[in-house]
């Protein structure tokens, strides 16, 4: 290993957390492969194991530590490098693990190739592993970074400390990356970041998320765009109308609520109240009933009484939301919420979470059933393991439709027609012989 003309060595990389982490892992993977490293699946012997971590909750911290231990068991002689948000905020905890060899925070993440070269005592002075990418291994769609960091100061969140202030990727660089992926056959791109609604505020006047989307649409031909999570105050009428009326923009918005109680929202330092949130969600529904609107809700925030929880339950029930991601409050060290009084006990958090999860499932089922008989443009996934007769078609409004498998359609956007719902699944077929009929 390490001689001129030979491969530099082998590596495995695993990712926990958000779509942005997944994009950054793919940047690292492709850079290393392009510089002579052999990529191996997680679980196989490799010279290096890279763990790209998340720290959004205590549960994700535990999953990160478990991934480190699994890497050591899978490849006892490997060098384990831990990077990402958990490595940025709690490097001492990771360094104290006997399985860990190297800890690199987010600010050092893209110098990982140099670190690996130094470890083996050989290399060509590799540069920074920060893109662009040519593909997205194991995915029929790609995530690309348009923005990094966060300027908000939510009292429960550690991410601004982990990721730093908001920074936007230049529009030309975003368009170039989308065009490159489109030319390589990818037909859906997810625009992702930590706080994408602030896109462009650090760039030239007139540059914002809506203008970026319009520029991408004008300079590409086929690819569908999907937005990752966006804050309610950053959803203007123009963006809503674009989501409702342009088939190349997925009819799907994920808008975090966090709480339906105004006192809790103030304690969270969220910049809206429940009335403002409701106004925007109803505006989305008025634009189109086809738009899926998902949300995040934190349960058991300090000071959340039964009455305040019922406010959240009422708001979540009354609004035309499609699905919920429910998170029991997890105190993050160093955040104001971690030291707040009136912490809620775990049993109460669990009980309240179950109530919201049950409501969210009912809303999801109702939305899926409403899609029956409605033509939807969907991205065909490879046939599922154990379900070789079917492929999953992901619609713009985030429904999964099981359709008869056809390998020739994998990775393509085609019209599908959902026909019925059975045993937790929506079933249908590819319409019009698999040809795409944008706007039909």
List, in sequence order, every residue forming a beta bridge with 257; answer none if it has no partner: none
Instruction: Report d(CA 85, CA 105) in Å as an integer.
Output: 7
Q: Are 149 and 164 in contact (CB under 8 A)?
A: yes
Q: Are 146 and 167 in contact (CB under 8 A)?
A: no
Domain closes at, from 56, 90, 120: 120
Domain closes at, from 228, 246, 265: 228
CA atoms within 13 A on the CB side of 219: 17
Instruction: Report d(CA 302, CA 269) in Å as an integer.
Output: 13
Residue 243 lies in a domain: no
Any idea what the Cα angle at residue 170 is, between residues 216 and 205, rounded to 5°?
90
Digits of tens for pLDDT over the chain (440 positions)? 333 445 679 999 999 999 999 999 999 999 999 999 999 999 999 999 999 999 999 999 999 999 999 999 999 999 999 999 999 999 999 999 999 999 999 989 999 999 999 998 876 666 788 878 999 988 889 999 999 999 999 999 999 999 999 999 999 999 999 999 999 999 999 999 999 999 999 998 889 999 999 999 999 999 999 999 999 999 999 999 999 999 999 999 999 999 999 999 999 999 999 999 999 999 999 999 999 999 999 999 999 999 999 999 999 999 999 999 999 999 999 999 999 999 999 999 999 999 999 999 999 999 999 999 999 999 999 876 666 789 999 999 999 999 999 989 999 999 999 999 998 899 999 997 555 543 33
* Closest by Cα among 230, 252, 255 to 146: 230
For residue 134, CA distances in Å to 13, 29, 144, 173, 397 come to 17, 11, 11, 14, 26
Residue 19 lies in a domain: yes
Q: Are 221 and 239 in contact (CB under 8 A)?
A: no
Same domain flag for 410 and 364 = no
* Closest by Cα among 365, 368, 366, 395 to 380: 395
Instruction: Report d(CA 141, CA 181) in Å as an integer.
Output: 9
Count of residues in the chain: 440
Same domain flag for 385 and 333 = no
- What's 410's domain CATH number? 2.40.50.140
Instruction: Report d(CA 231, CA 253) in Å as an integer.
Output: 10
Same domain flag for 78 and 98 = yes
List, in sequence order, every residue forming a beta bridge with 175; answer none if it has no partner: none
Domains held by the chain: number: 4
Residue 346 lies in a domain: yes
- What's 354's domain CATH number? 3.30.750.200
CA atoms within 13 A on the CB side of 152: 22
DSSP 8-state code for residue 258: B
DSSP 8-state code for residue 305: -
For residue 166, CA distances in Å to 198, 234, 235, 314 come to 8, 14, 18, 33
Count Cβ atoms within 10 A of the Cβ of residue 374 and give its class: 0-12 exposed, 13-18 middle, 19 or more buried.
middle
Same domain flag for 284 and 336 = yes
- What's 177's domain CATH number? 3.30.750.210
Residue 131 lies in a domain: no
Same domain flag for 29 and 100 = yes
Q: Are 322 and 363 in contact (CB under 8 A)?
A: yes
CA gyration radius for the chain? 22
Q: Are 117 and 131 in contact (CB under 8 A)?
A: no
Residue 239 lies in a domain: no
* Closest by Cα among 422, 326, 429 to 378: 429
Instruction: Report d(CA 362, CA 433) in Å as an integer.
Output: 33
Residue 247 lies in a domain: no
Domain closes at, from 329, 352, 370: 370
Residue 201 lies in a domain: yes
Instruction: Report d(CA 184, CA 144) in Å as an integer.
Output: 14
Domain span at residue 329 reads: 257-370
pTM for the whole thing? 0.92
């Amino acid at each position: 290993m390490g001689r001129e003309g030979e491969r530099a060595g082998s590596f495995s990389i695993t990712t926990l957390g958000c779509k942005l982490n997944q994009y950054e892992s793919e940047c690292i993977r492709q850079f290393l492969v392009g510089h002579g490293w052999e990529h191996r699946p997680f679980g196989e012997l490799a010279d290096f194991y890279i763990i790209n971590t998340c720290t959004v909750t205590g549960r994700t911290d535990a999953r990160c530590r478990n991934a480190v231990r699994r890497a050591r068991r899978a490849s006892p002689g490997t060098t384990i490098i831990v990077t990402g948000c958990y490595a940025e905020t709690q490097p001492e905890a990771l360094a104290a693990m006997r399985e860990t060899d190297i800890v690199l925070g987010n600010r050092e993440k893209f110098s990982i190739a140099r670190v690996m070269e130094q470890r083996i005592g050989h290399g060509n002075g590799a540069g920074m592993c920060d893109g662009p990418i040519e593909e997205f291994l194991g995915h029929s769609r790609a995530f690309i970074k348009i923005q990094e960091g966060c300027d908000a100061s939510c009292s429960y969140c550690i991410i601004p400390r982990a990721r730093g202030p908001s920074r936007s990727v230049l529009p030309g660089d975003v368009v170039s990356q989308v065009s490159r992926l489109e030319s390589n056959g990818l037909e859906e791109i997810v625009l992702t970041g930590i706080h994408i609604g602030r896109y462009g505020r650090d760039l030239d006047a007139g540059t914002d998320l809506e203008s970026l989307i319009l520029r991408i649409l004008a300079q590409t031909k086929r690819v569908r765009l999907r937005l990752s999570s966006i804050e309610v105050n950053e959803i203007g009428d123009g963006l809503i109308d674009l989501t409702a009326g342009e088939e190349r923009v997925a009819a799907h918005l994920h808008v975090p609520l966090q709480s339906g109680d105004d006192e809790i929202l103030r304690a969270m330092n969220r910049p809206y109240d429940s009335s403002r949130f409701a106004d925007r969600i109803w505006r989305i529904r008025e634009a189109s009933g086809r738009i899926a609107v998902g949300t995040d809700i934190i349960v058991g925030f300090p000071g959340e009484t039964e009455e305040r929880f019922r406010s959240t339950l009422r708001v979540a029930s009354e609004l035309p939301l499609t699905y919920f991601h429910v998170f029991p409050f997890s105190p993050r060290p160093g955040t104001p919420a971690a030291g707040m009084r009136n912490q809620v006990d775990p049993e109460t958090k669990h009980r309240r979470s179950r109530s919201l999860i049950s409501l969210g499932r009912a809303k999801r089922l109702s939305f899926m059933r409403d899609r029956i008989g409605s033509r939807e443009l969907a991205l065909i996934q490879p046939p599922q393991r154990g379900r070789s007769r079917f492929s999953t078609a992901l619609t713009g409004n985030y429904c999964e439709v099981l359709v008869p498998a056809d390998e020739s359609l994998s990775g393509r956007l085609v019209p599908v027609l959902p026909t019925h719902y059975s045993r937790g699944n929506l079933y249908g077929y590819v319409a019009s012989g698999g040809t795409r009929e944008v706007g039909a």
